[in-house]
Amino acid sequence: MTHQVRPSDEALWSSITAGDEGAFGSLFDRYSRAVYNHAFRLTGSWSTAEDVTQTTFLVAWRRRGEARLVEGSALPWLLVVATNTVRSQQRSARRWLALLRRLPSERHTESDPADEVAARLDDERRMAEILAVVRRLPPAEREAVALCLWSGVSYPDAAVALGISEAAVRSRVSRARSRLARLMTGEIEEETR
């Protein structure tokens, strides 16, 4: 039985720099999920994370001669490209909203699709702010928040899913609510770090 050795990022990138699309596909397969998850954590939006991931790899292909591997890994460079892509998209969205706000209001009663777009962007911005605060909770409390408060899973079902008692789930949710309230009002700065 033969065992295939996975090429290193350095070997892949050397082939990519020479224009090897197959090597680039291998790099995409290796890191697209990590880039996607990173983009979601930055944006709080699955669809935006998909767009960011696509743009990141498009930029990576276009700038393949400029990439800097970190300790032999392409992932840090890809994550920086994704972060910069998110920043660019957020700047564009802010400019777009500023332009929309400068437009004179229309007098007819039809709903303006720009209002819905602006509301969705505002929702995603608020979600990103909430995610930033929730990330400061201990992992066990984050799990409880995600299951019980965000997804509406009952305490008994969450207890089964997490392999703990219902009382432990209730305790985690209670502690998370209390800590979130303090974090949102700025009472605690670095309690969980």
Mean model confidence pLDDT for the chain: 84
User: Same domain, yes or no, for 88 and 137?
Assistant: no
Token pair of 148 as six digits: 């019980």
Does pLDDT of 170 surpass 90?
yes
Cα 192 to chain centroid, rounded: 21
Decide: residue 186, CB within 10 A, 0-12 exposed, 13-18 middle, 19+ buried: exposed
For residues 18 and 84, membership in a common domain is answered with yes
Are 12 and 93 found together in one domain? yes
pLDDT at 1: 57
Same domain, 45 and 81: yes
CA distance 176 to 178: 5
Q: For position 192, what pLDDT does the model report?
A: 44
Judgement on whether residues 33 and 89 belong to the same structural domain of the protein: yes
Q: Is the pLDDT of residue 44 over 70?
A: yes
- Range of the structural domain that residue 74 is part of: 8-102
Residue 8: half-sphere exposure toward Cβ, Cα within 13 Å: 8
Q: Looking at the predicted structure, is the pLDDT value of residue 193 above 60?
A: no
Q: How confident is the model at residue 153, as a pLDDT?
A: 78
Asked if the structure places residue 43 within a domain, the reply is yes
Same domain? 17 vs 63: yes
pLDDT at position 106, please? 61
- Within 10 angstroms of residue 110's Cβ, the number of other Cβ atoms is 6
Of 67, 102, 137, the one marking the end of a domain is 102
Residues 28 and 98 grouped into a single domain: yes
In a domain, 107, yes or no: no
In this prediction, residue 55 carries a pLDDT of 95
We report the CATH number of the domain holding residue 142 as 1.10.10.10
Tell me what pLDDT residue 124 has. Answer: 81
12 and 76 together in one domain: yes
Tally of domains in the chain = 2
Q: What confidence score (pLDDT) does residue 108 get? A: 53
CATH number at residue 17: 1.10.1740.10
CA 157, CA 155: separation in Å to the nearest integer? 6
Same domain, 97 and 133: no
Token representation of residue 83: 């972060």
Structure tokens given for 62: 């276009």
In a domain, 24, yes or no: yes
Torsion of CA 29, 30, 31, 37, to 10 degrees: 80
- How far apart are the C-alpha atoms of 157 and 28, rounded to whole Å? 37
Asked if residue 142 lies in contact with residue 134, where contact means CB atoms within 8 angstroms, the answer is yes
Per-residue pLDDT for 134 more than 70? yes
Cβ atoms within 10 Å, residue 103: 9
- pTM comes to 0.52
Query: Between these two residues, 110 and 16, which has the higher pLDDT value?
Result: 16
Q: What is the pLDDT of residues 71-82, one digit of tens each?
A: 888 998 899 899
Q: Cα(116)–Cα(180) distance, rounded to whole angstroms?
A: 29
In a domain, 70, yes or no: yes
